[in-house]
Amino acid sequence: GDAFLSVRDLYVHFATEDGTVKAVDGLSFDVARGRTLGIVGESGSGKSVTNLAVLGLHNPRSTEVAGEILLDGQQLIGAREKTLETLRGNKMAMIFQDPLTALSPYYTVGRQIAEPFRKHTGASKREARLRAIEMLDKVGIPHPQSRVDDYPHQFSGGMRQRAMIAMALVCDPDLLIADEPTTALDVTVQAQILDLLKDLQQEFGSAIVFITHDLGVIADIADDILVMYSGRAVERGAVREVLRAPQHPYTWGLLTSMPRLTGDVGEELSPIHGTPPSLLAPPPGCPFHPRCAFTDEVAGDRSCHRDRPAPPAGRGAACHLTAEQKHTFFTEQIKPR
């Protein structure tokens, strides 16, 4: 296919003193160049862990990774650290929620943008500095020539976020992984950063994986959605489809726990009741069943408490309800609220 990143039947398990944590439990997805996949879920759903595994940033001693992670056809699971290091920066880059985890306080912003560029292209110091200025300009830092020698603490939070994006994009990565990159920012700056990512994607044609707990952000930036729960995909599809006619009770919960997409303020939010499942001892059957209000509606011989629903392939949801029930429950019981 034309997937740039292809994840197949991925398992990420951690050994802990209490047993094995199944953080990712049989996950598959694809991202093509020029497309943005939004991965949404609560903390502990496996969305961040998945992407640390893609980047090869998990701890190899305590973590077992199985399945396939193909980047432009190259298998990353079991790849040597040296190979992964070259790919990070060159072919794939990441943006995290907190720029201070990515930016060192001891070096100028310009140097931190220039260094990876020099390392991957062999450019001279002068060329790399010019490139850093160009990147600061691209991410919307005013007067970049006079800011390039500033230290991170001389930048505002929003500017640091932009600087980190400049650092991530300086080598034109083909795959960009952004993990909650706008969560800590106010709404205005958040909107600017999302616009910026869209512009940069237009320019560089990168594949983007955007991880968030916020469906509103997904609606704004993504082409496709993957909803994760308990280390598994529970719903997937094109953004428009999933937001118009979501099929999984967990997705319904996410939708009703966010402010309306119409932007009404002061509206009462109803968080999904219950807590995310233990990844040490996930519930049998459908992992969502302890929190689901629809278990009694499942007809036939399938049981939410016993039978694990198949993960969605293409548009769909991992749920035993019939297509008609999914439609009816959403339009008659969930949507009107």
d(CA 329, CA 321): 10
Site for ligand SF4 in 238-257 (CB under 6 A): 248-249
The token duo for 93 is: 């880059």
In whole angstroms, how close is the CB of 4 to Mg ion at the nearest point? 23
Q: Which is nearer to ligand SF4, 52 or 225 (CB)?
A: 225
Residue of 306, 279, 328, 331 lying closest to 19 (CA atoms): 279
The listed partner (Mg ion, ligand SF4, none) that binds 114, CB under 5 to 8 Å by sort, is: none
The answer to whether the beta carbons of residues 279 and 231 sit under 8 Å apart is yes
The listed partner (ligand SF4, Mg ion, none) that binds 48, CB under 5 to 8 Å by sort, is: Mg ion
d(CA 25, CA 12): 7
Binder of ligand SF4 out of 200, 211, 239, 286 (CB under 6 A): 286
Contact string (CB under 5 A) for Mg ion, positions 36-65, x = contact: ------------x-----------------
Contact string (CB under 6 A) for ligand SF4, positions 193-232, x = contact: ----------------------------------------
DSSP 8-state class, residue 44? T
Give the up-direction half-sphere exposure of residue 255: CA atoms within 13 A in the CB hemisphere: 24
Verify binding: residue 40, ligand SF4, rule CB under 6 A. Answer: no
Using the contact rule CB under 6 A, the part of the chain among 61-69, 161-169, 271-279, 285-293 near ligand SF4 is: 285-293
DSSP 8-state class, residue 63? E
Binder of ligand SF4 out of 4, 29, 210, 288 (CB under 6 A): 288
Residues 6 or more apart in contact with residue 172 via CB below 8 angstroms? 204, 206
d(CA 186, CA 207): 26
Instruction: Let me know how long the chain is.
Output: 337
H-state helical runs in 2-108: 47-55, 81-90, 99-102
Binder of ligand SF4 out of 236, 321, 329, 330 (CB under 6 A): 321
Using the contact rule CB under 6 A, the part of the chain among 50-58, 68-76, 209-217, 319-327 near ligand SF4 is: 319-327
CA 180, 181, 186: angle at the middle one, nearest 5? 100
d(CA 160, CA 184): 12
Verify binding: residue 289, ligand SF4, rule CB under 6 A. Answer: yes
In whole angstroms, how close is the CB of 322 to ligand SF4 at the nearest point? 10
In whole angstroms, how close is the CB of 250 to ligand SF4 at the nearest point? 6
The listed partner (ligand SF4, Mg ion, none) that binds 321, CB under 5 to 8 Å by sort, is: ligand SF4
Residues 6 or more apart in contact with residue 197 via CB below 8 angstroms? 165, 176, 178, 181, 208, 210, 221
Q: Which positions lie near Mg ion, rule CB under 5 A?
A: 48
Residues that bind ligand SF4 (CB under 6 A): 248-249, 286, 288-289, 292, 294-295, 298, 304, 309, 319-321
